């Protein structure tokens, strides 16, 4: 399997077993992936994480917290790296729960090097796609902020399914003025049809009028 297109990806390995950390670091470095290792979950949480693609490899049983607790901490601290869990035989039920919370995969120990590499490639690609999506959402929100206050009002009402006449009545403006604002909003948002404008509104997900 080829390397992910973004070669600056970083694999973070969290495991209290020094020999496992070293073995995984050697494995990932052998294919050109930068690797950083941590003995505990808190070591990772205390270390600034660069804003770059990558993934987290976590032993589900760490000395300071289990994998589920670690996942919760990651969410609270705003770390959104894809997670691959390493598990012992008795930890599989916990690993399944971790996957339901968003982990990409879990690998029972001992595992084959290729199985780990496959899981890491999938995790990095998922993270890359999510970063691209987040970037697209950010651009859409930036475009939304270029709308005037009235254009935003019209856009939100139109994407709730209201006709131009209803929008005009709600806002106390003429129907022609409502159409003008609607057209301006569509141009600025890059929407060619009402259906596209509705999808864009769903992406932005702003607070809707009651």
pLDDT along the chain (210 residues), means of 10: 56 96 96 95 92 90 89 85 85 76 86 95 88 74 90 92 93 95 92 85 61
For β-strands 10-14 and 34-38, DSSP reports them as parallel
Residue in the block written with tokens 């209201």? 162
pLDDT at residue 135, as a whole number: 65
Residues 104, 57: Cα–Cα separation, whole Å: 10
Nearest CA to 162 out of 180, 184, 182 is that of: 182
Residues 20, 162: Cα–Cα separation, whole Å: 60
Could you give the percent of the chain with pLDDT greater than 90? 51
pLDDT at residue 175, as a whole number: 94
pLDDT at residue 181, as a whole number: 95
pLDDT at residue 93, as a whole number: 77
pLDDT at residue 208, as a whole number: 45
pLDDT at residue 17, as a whole number: 94
Residue 203 tokens, joined: 């992406």
Residue in the block written with tokens 């909003």? 185
pLDDT at residue 96, as a whole number: 77
pLDDT at residue 10, as a whole number: 94
pTM for this one?
A: 0.64
Residue 39 tokens, joined: 């003995």
Q: Where are the beta strands (DSSP E) in 39-167?
A: 54-59, 83-87, 105-108
């Amino acid at each position: 399997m080829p390397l992910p297109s973004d070669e600056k990806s970083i694999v973070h390995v969290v495991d209290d077993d020094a020999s496992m950390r070293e073995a995984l670091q050697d494995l990932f470095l052998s294919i050109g992936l930068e690797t950083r290792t941590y003995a505990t979950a808190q070591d990772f949480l205390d270390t600034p994480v660069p804003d770059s693609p990558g993934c987290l490899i976590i032993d589900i049983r760490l000395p300071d917290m289990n994998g589920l607790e670690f996942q919760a901490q990651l969410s609270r601290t705003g770390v959104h790296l894809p997670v691959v869990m390493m598990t012992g035989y008795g930890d599989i039920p916990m690993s399944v729960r971790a996957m339901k919370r968003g982990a990409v995969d879990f690998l029972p120990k001992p595992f084959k090097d290729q199985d780990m590499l496959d899981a890491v490639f999938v995790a990095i690609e998922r993270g890359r796609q999510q970063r691209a999506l987040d970037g697209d959402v950010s651009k859409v929100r930036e475009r939304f902020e270029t709308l005037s206050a009235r254009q935003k009002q019209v856009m939100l009402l139109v994407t709730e399914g209201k006709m131009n006449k209803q929008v005009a009545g709600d806002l106390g403006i003429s129907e022609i003025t409502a159409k003008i604002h609607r057209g301006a909003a569509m141009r600025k948002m890059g929407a060619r049809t009402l259906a596209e404008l509705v999808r864009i509104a769903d992406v932005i997900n702003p607070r809707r009028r009651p």
